[in-house]
Amino acid sequence: MFKPVVDFCLRRGGVCLAMVSLSGVSGCAGPWTYHPAERGFSAALEGSGAYGPVDGYVQTPAGGAPGTTSGKRPTFQELGIDDFVSAEGSLNLGWRAHGLYAGGRLLRLDGDSTLNSGLVSQGTTFPAGTSVKSRVQLDSYRFGYQYRAAWANEGGTLLGLSPAVTWRVLRNLA
């Protein structure tokens, strides 16, 4: 029953040492038994949003060639981008201990400005005084599978593990 846990601990000794230490400190070092997953179908829809300041720069060299973009430029402030807006959503479907999930995050950075100093971007030179309008999209999408396993002790403490495999796609439009 605990062979997968023992195999995991032999390969990842530091993680298991931390888990054993935590269980000893929390007073839940008694015998653990496998806690079967709830039966039936489950579904959850989640969403969130974020807004805040942004700092840094965006570089898009032409074909990755050196010298085709000014170093560490343009900064977000040069492009008139001070804040970001992000929305995230996901759908989680489960059947007993098995789960499938899909979700995405839309991250948008928009701005208008006038360059104070010359800039080279993707091999094109933009002199000081050039008016620029920028839209940067850093969207990502994820799809995956997870398996939920849980163990309980006599004290009512529940330990759950949910190993997962995730595929992530990043869509970058600068």
pLDDT for 101-159, tens place per residue?
999 999 989 999 999 999 888 888 899 999 999 888 999 999 999 999 999 988 888 88
72 burial (CB, 10 Å; 0-12 / 13-18 / 19+) is exposed
Please, are residues 101 and 90 in contact by the beta-carbon 8 Å criterion?
Answer: yes
pLDDT at 166: 96
Supply the pTM of this predicted model.
Answer: 0.66
| Per-residue burial over 101-124, b = 16 or more CB atoms within 10 Å of its CB, e = otherwise | bebbbbbebebebebeeebbbeee
pLDDT at 12: 58
pLDDT for 54-102, tens place per residue?
999 887 777 767 778 888 888 999 999 999 999 999 999 999 999 999 9
